Chains A and B, each alone.
Chain A
Amino acid sequence: MSSKHTFEQSITKQIFNTLREHVIRSRTTITVVFLGLYNENELHVDEAPNIKENITVFLKNEARKSDFVFESSRQPKWFIILSSSGEKEAAAFLRRLFMTAKNKGIPALENHKILFSASVAEIANNEGTFEELMSKGVSTLAGSLSKGPEQIEYISDFKKRPSEKIRISILDENAIFRRVLYHTLKNLNLEYFETEVKEFQDGYEFLESDWYHSSHTHLIIMNDILPRQSGLDVLHKIRMLPNNRRFIVFVMSKRNSQEDIIYAYESGADNYLIKPFNLRLLEIEIKRTFERLWT
């Protein structure tokens, strides 16, 4: 939804804080763009308010419906919140903006040469206040404007992702292989994630434990065939639980027929590893899985 708000600090702060809280919950970064006019003095913006208004309309048209564009009388002239975006997306957005302003011109302002510069802050945690962000954004924008037109400076103070605890369960009948997997997973160097690894000899032992009754993201690596309760039984049970999306399930199996693989995926497996498999490959697949949790 496109914002109709003009830049009022309190409303902006409120919206920003709401979106920032969602960053942690959804593991999706937002990015704040501080946009300034390089040639502000030549344009006499304050004496010709239609210039600013037209630029705001242009920015709102260029932004997505889910982004927020705020206008201000002071620097930054525009404060834009790009939802579900990181630095890279913000940079692409700005380059497109600079290019359109330069080549096509801004509607109703074709006779004016409009030159922007910006500072960009990716927000991946809820540390720091809105005021700190504003202060950092404005000072970095000043640096960017001093370098010339179409400059982008990046603020890294707010982009550190918070560390998150994840649980990993290994379900395999063979104690030696469980230990092999335990070492492999313990040695995983997952950025932003702390792992707690636990071993279970079968599905029954796992389901009887209260280990999986937590809100943590939970990776389960299990064999399809297990004594007492099989891996596929466990899979069916956990996929019936509310909020079951927190479980990431890797099924290990000696069976490599297409039917078995399809059945496992249809039952809710996220990955199917055919034994014997490469431990390095497993490590990389787990890393990629956790990297993808953040967008």
Chain B
Amino acid sequence: MIKISIDFLIKGIGVLSIILVFLCIYVVLYRIKGKTADKKIKNYIQEKQDQWYQYLNDEISLSQELIPVDHTEMKAVEKIFLVYVKNVSSPIIQEKIRKFSNEYLRKYYSRLLRRKRWGLRMNALQRIVDFKIDSLAEQCKKIEKKGNLSSEERFYLLLIQSIFYEAAFIEKFAGLSSELSEYEYKKLLIGFDSEILKQLTYQMHKFAPVYQYYFIDVLGIRRNLDFLPFLEDNFSHEDSEIRIRSLKAISEIGIIINLNKYKVFLDSPLWEERLMLTKILGAFSLEQVYPYLEKLLQDENWQVRSSAAKTIGVAKDGKSRLEAFIATAQDQYAIDMAREVLGGES
């Protein structure tokens, strides 16, 4: 049994109490400091937001008053800029924010980039992207060479590279072996302008297969007709996943020029390709594509039949076509599917 004298115990409790009191005082002071800073930010915004509006909208020139003098004011300016960047689309305003950030916020974010706290570093990286602070691009390049970066930091550093070193970034994009998740990879690609995406189409064959799939998905999300020829060229690709995703991307774009290129999928051994074809055929008038859809309505695969029936059902005069089909067809599965789309009316 350990023997502790009462005297020692009292002294121990006393020391712990003092530490606790200091800790409490620290927490209270920290909170007061935080609240004071928040109040200062709020006051700055209330006082200066109208002037910022006038400056950013070319109504007044930049005055000394708008230049932040301490961290609190910088945070306030950051909040104002973020509202403009996220809500207002204007090349003039973006350029003003870029110039101002490079001139007056660069040092602030440069210091944040060197901080140990991950949150502060991430904040700096995000703002470099938001405000297009190109004067910090070099510093970001150096950071990228360091080890122990989180995947989030790596993602933002890539994004920064794609913005400020576009040509070099495209060059090395194919060899991108970072551990980007599907979400991060797609987010990166969605942020690119169409010209970069177009250049990347020439290099897609160099990407790892899974990145090729994500890349095609993004082309569909962008719904840009310019990518249609590239996607159609993939129809002869040996990887069926590439073909299916290309068809899916085309169905997202929703505009098809040459129907003949798609007829080959009518007899595809892969039901996924036939399924995508049923969706794509919806881009044409029923008059033009009904024979193909009728064939797909009698497909051996349930999903293909269902999708074909839906495509016919939503088209102009589609319901009457389905009714006519029910009256004359022999295939009971297809008739059931047509009935289902008609909501059991027939």
Binding site for B on A (CB under 8 A): 174-177, 179-180, 183, 275-280
Contact = CB atoms under 8 A, between A and B. Distances in A.
A179 B86 contact: no
Contact of A278 (B50, B83, B85, B88): B88
A276 B79 contact: no
Nearest to B223: A258
Contacts of A277: 87-89
B49 A278 contact: no
Contacts of B88: 180, 276-279
A278 B56 CA distance: 13
B240 interface: no
B87 A177 contact: yes
Interface of B: 45, 49-50, 53, 57, 79-80, 83-90
A174 B79 CA distance: 11
A176 B90 contact: no
Nearest to A281: B89
Contacts of B86: 275-276
30 contacts: A174-B87, A176-B49, A176-B79, A176-B80, A176-B83, A177-B83, A177-B87, A179-B49, A179-B50, A180-B53, A180-B83, A180-B84, A180-B88, A183-B50, A183-B53, A183-B57, A275-B86, A275-B87, A276-B85, A276-B86, A276-B87, A276-B88, A276-B89, A277-B88, A277-B89, A278-B89, A278-B90, A279-B57, A279-B88, A280-B90
Contacts of B57: 183, 279
Contacts of B90: 278-280
A168 B85 CA distance: 24
A93 to B, nearest CB: 38
A174 B89 CA distance: 17
Top 6 A-B pairs, shortest CB-CB distance? A276-B89, A176-B83, A177-B83, A183-B53, A278-B89, A177-B87
B135 to A, nearest CB: 24
Q: Which of B85, B86, B87 counts the most chain A CB atoms within 10 A?
A: B87
Nearest to B79: A176
A52 B212 CA distance: 82
Contacts of A276: 85-89
Q: Which of A176, A177, A179, A276 counts the most chain B CB atoms within 10 A?
A: A176
Contact of B87 (A175, A180, A183, A280): A180
Contacts of B84: 180
Contacts of B83: 174, 176-177, 180
A22 B87 CA distance: 41
Nearest to A183: B53
B91 to A, nearest CB: 9
A255 to B, nearest CB: 13
Nearest to A172: B87
A180 B56 CA distance: 11
A179 B53 contact: yes
Q: Which of B49, B50, B89 counts the most chain A CB atoms within 10 A?
A: B89
Nearest to B84: A180
A276 B86 CA distance: 6
A142 to B, nearest CB: 51
Nearest to A274: B89
A177 B57 CA distance: 14
A279 B57 CA distance: 10
A179 B80 CA distance: 11
Contacts of B50: 179, 183
A75 B330 CA distance: 80
A279 B84 CA distance: 10
Contacts of B53: 179-180, 183
